[in-house]
Amino acid sequence: MEIIKKRPELLLPAGSKEKMDYAIQYGADAVYLGMVDFSLRAMRKGELITLDNLKECIDLAHSYNKKVYLTLNIFAYNDDIKQMEKSAEKIEEANPDAILFSDFGVYNIIKKYMKKIPIHVSTQTNILNYEAVKFWQDLGAQRVVLSRDLSLKQIEEIRNKVPDMELEVFVHGAQCVSFSGRCLISDYMTKGERKANHGNCSQSCRWSYKLLEETRPNEYFEINENDRGTHILSPKDLALINYLPDLIDLGIDSFKIEGRTKSLYYVSAVAKAYRKAIDDYLTTGKIDKEANYNEIIKIGNRGYTTGFYLHKPDSEGYSYDISKGLAGSDCLCVFLSKSDDDTYKVLTKNKFLLNDEIEIISPTECFIAKVEKIYDDKKAEEKELSNTNDISYIKLSKGPVNYKYALSRTIGVKNLR
């Protein structure tokens, strides 16, 4: 079957209203978001997305002519179903472009109370074959999110067998040691207090473990994978930026980035990198693999892997030495406003000093600038540094034109993994 090359959708996470706005400015065609009651990701920072402000968030995205997909993909208990029934009218009024679900009961609620909203089938359903895609298509789904556990050849066969169904694939972000999040380790290890499928996973797979032999109480033994440590269940992060041409050629409809709990810098920088890679291939037929990789290693990661995409993952697909992602470049500040004297009001994320050279990124720019002046939050006194969480005013040798969405970071790459 001949596939006509088309522009795929770049789909970014929106963990808060602010992150949604930045994701769109940095290149997202669409965002996915979840309300705190029905989400697989429980947010703790920023303006949380709730039933009360859901319409406001969706209206903002629609004002940019971008799409919003609402995630209702928990495995629902009776109380969840009752709450969804009460929320259905407000959800429909908010007018999301689609709802993602995984639970059959939730499917019934959507079809009963929210008939006008298109439905997308979540990766939580573990769609691994073309017959499953056909099944959901027959039930009225517009799109399915394929499992991360598929190879390129398997995705290609699904595309060929079901050419008229929208397919969404994950291309970047953290991976679960289980089949697409269907893991009970967190629930078990926290005695039911942190359920993975209800947005509060403790990421027990990222913990460091030791072995206790039952006849030798209080004697703990290291679990070693060679000499690299004990994070034996912690997969590296997925990064398919240099394999986007394969997926574009297959006619995949949407490229999904993981990370609703990730930082504003992560969302912005990863959107910018993938936006450029997609546009480069569609306009020139080529991508710059080295430049692409140099960009994504500046973003928080546990080391990168292609997952199941090229071959079944082996021991090299696991991050044995660390459980949390390290960014190759530290985000230094978020730009808040510009004054008439060409100083910028910034919120400092990591300390920087007077006369430091920093890298400025915005939706349209990327350049090096020198910090020439730092003032306090009242612009009354000069300072030698701006500390983490400080509100400061800074003067730069060159400032961003699109300052409203600009960020700064350290130059080059450290924490290379």
DSSP string, 222-252: E--STTS-S-TT-BPEEE-GGGHHHHHHHT-
DSSP 257-292: E--TTS-HHHHHHHHHHHHHHHHHHHHHS---HHHH
Query: How far is it, in rounded angstroms, from Cα 104 to Cα 207?
Result: 32
Q: 69 with 119: CB under 8 angstroms?
A: no
∠ Cα 204 213 177 (to 5°): 25
Structure-token pair, residue 399? 């400032």
Q: 3 with 249: CB under 8 angstroms?
A: yes
Helix (DSSP H) and strand (DSSP E) numbers for the chain: 10, 20
The reported pLDDT for the residue numbered 1 is 45
Task: At 67, list the tokens.
Answer: 């799409």
9-178+235-317 and 331-409: identical CATH topology = no
Residue type, 241: I
Domain made up of 9-178+235-317: CATH architecture = Alpha-Beta Barrel (3.20)
- According to DSSP H, which parts of 26-100 are helical? 54-63, 78-94
pLDDT score, position 259:
87
Locate the domains of the chain by residue range: 9-178+235-317, 331-409
pLDDT for 356: 97
DSSP 198: G
Q: Judge contact between 212 and 263, C-beta under 8 A.
A: no
pLDDT of residue 35: 85
Alpha-carbon distances, residue 161 vs 157, 238, 281, 389 (angstroms): 6, 26, 26, 53
For the chain, report the end-to-end CA distance as a whole number of angstroms. 40
The pLDDT, as a whole number, for residue 314 is 66
DSSP state of 4: P
Residue 61 structure tokens: 């995205």
Could you tell me which residues come within 8 angstroms of residue 186 by beta carbon, excluding any fewer than 6 positions away?
194, 195, 196, 200, 201, 202, 203, 204
Residue 414: what pLDDT? Answer: 75
Topology of the domain covering 331-409: Elongation Factor Tu (Ef-tu); domain 3 (2.40.30)
- Contact call for residues 324 and 263 (beta carbons, < 8 A): no
CA 127 centroid distance within chain: 20
Distance CA 169, CA 219 (A): 45
**Using CA atoms, how far apart are residues 380 and 155, in angstroms rounded to an integer?**
60
| Helix, strand, coil percentages in the chain from 3-state DSSP, rounded to 5 | 30, 25, 50
Q: Is residue 47 within 8 Å of residue 27, measured between CB atoms?
A: no
pTM: 0.88
Encoded tokens for 126 = 């573990």
**Tokens (6 digits) for 11:** 């789909």
pLDDT at 74: 87
Question: Are 363 and 335 in contact, with CB atoms under 8 Å apart?
Answer: no
User: Helical H runs in 28-72?
Assistant: 54-63
Q: Give the pLDDT of residue 160.
A: 97
Other C-beta atoms within 10 Å of 331: how many?
23
Residues 146, 151, 157, 163, CA torsion sign: positive
**C-alpha angle with apex 109: 107 to 113, nearest 5 degrees?**
125
Walk along the chain (417 residues) and give the pLDDT tens digit of each residue.
444 478 999 999 998 999 999 999 999 999 999 887 676 555 555 568 899 999 999 999 999 999 999 999 888 999 999 999 999 999 999 999 999 999 999 999 999 999 999 999 999 899 999 999 999 999 999 999 999 999 999 999 999 999 999 999 999 988 776 666 666 776 767 776 776 666 667 677 667 766 666 777 777 655 555 554 555 667 788 999 999 999 999 999 999 999 888 899 999 999 999 999 999 999 999 999 999 999 999 998 888 988 889 887 765 656 656 656 677 899 999 999 999 999 999 999 999 999 999 999 999 999 999 999 999 999 999 999 999 999 999 999 999 999 999 999 999 887 665
What pLDDT is recorded for position 140? 97
Report the alpha-carbon distance of residue 157 to residue 404 in Å, rounded.
44
Structure tokens at 152: 């390129």
